[in-house]
Structure 1
């Protein structure tokens, strides 16, 4: 009897110690799926299937994925959305909706509808065949029908209401229309163009809400002036940064102004108006700027040029097997002249998990 009591005590003590352990992050979230919309920062390969010139279905893109095979992600490996579904314990990668291998069962836990080169301004997507935001939303409605057919109306509604929706767009609009050389194609002031983009973004959020989305994360702009391609343009053409690889402070201030409007003027009214929804601002400007200005903190030794080729202008088709690639991409913040390495995307996903995610799920 004494031995039995001792054994019971040990089991109880062990159970108590187990309860005191930190709860795994996957156990603390109640997210059914992740659906992503926007541009190349979330495109998992949709552009492979739209005959777009702007694609990354070739090496060295994807070289650090487990299969070492390019899947259409604009990076050497995972995107932030891939890390996000992993953090949530949903799956290892967020697949592209247009991937022919995507099954209806895959849709139950989410997919990416994003398209590299896309934006909030129709002039942005007119440059090359890509999926604009209205088309991405139409595809989601198509996906919702597939989900309803598989699990029924009620279960489908529950899945969508408990899913996390991520919108990442706006950078291409600024690059193509506001900072294009030698002249801008926008007729508005910078502030006016920001308002125009934000109005379109507001419409995207409202449309997602109408089809059932209730947990929505909206990313702001990165420090555009720190993108290698923008630094390169500053070095080629006369600027305050002539012959110096430094971030363009004016463009960074534009990004900050846009983000401030998004966070203070656009999202709060939406939160009030769209009853039952949780809409959060995902600040990507802060962590990217911190990585760019404090590289050693994150294990980087190069933050002003990409790993692919010269790292100055290469993007999409210009980053290919014919150009040299750095040996240690984990030491680089940028993979090409615009997109982060998977090391950089990992930091963004971690930042998301530590900041906005808790608000959206509680």
Structure 2
């Protein structure tokens, strides 16, 4: 039976995962079409190696780096863990300074490392103050690693990574920048950021889940987390996920092409959505609303209504979004990002994240706004 556009679900959860781009799907299927182990020396293997190296060039171009500095991983989580291991075991880091708004794939291994750790909160605008990082560095002794993401996954707030890197390097510290959410949404340039390690994930920009990358400065070569074969120039053992890598390369090319125009389009849609919601509910807080944000991200609260209630209500209305809080074993906890910004628990529990992407339309925004406004109207009766 034919379904009208009004009955089709609206997906506004791109920061969780983006739908697979058509060009990425084509690249993925093409890589699956023949026996393909890039380590094999016969014709099939050489063809597979060519696919992998072409994708490496595409991902390197997205990051503004040399292809030889790109190590493919299973995703952003592995890339972040690999970077932390490199800094601690190879570079001799003895202490960690980590932004409290980092993703758990940075926070959890940092906390488990057994090293002195300072977690630096963000300001009410969602931005980590470089002076606070400097104070943390100056307050301890020994080689340090600073972890500061380029853009936050919940609020979209863009962090001052280049400035922090300059200040950290002046104090002999290394810098890890998780660029998973920023990639494909704002320009990336490893040299301009100056960081030592940059991490990426394919599925955030329309590639396939299960593929990511660690990008290092020229003078760093990570030792593998897993021991085995000599894949990835000896930096990551295991047969390459060629189909995922191929899709990653195609998605990187698509995201990089017309990046400025797409960012402007998404910012227009995001601002339209924000305007509709705040007009209907002037008391609704827009978290990091006065900071530079990713063009696709809106984190907004509905006063008095828990985020999980909002997520379920919008889901029933055919709109997919995410809460600013996480559920673990049935227990709802406030967003660690928003509490790190100084928000009280209740406000952190009421935050909802809308995130748009390559297939989002004006009609999607209108339907999402109508569903949110209808719930808000019912909540105040």
Common fold by TM > 0.5: no
Larger fraction in strand: 2
Larger fraction in helix: 1
TM-score interval, smaller chain:
under 0.3
The higher-RCO structure (CA 8 Å, 6+ apart) is 2
TM-score (norm 1): 0.24
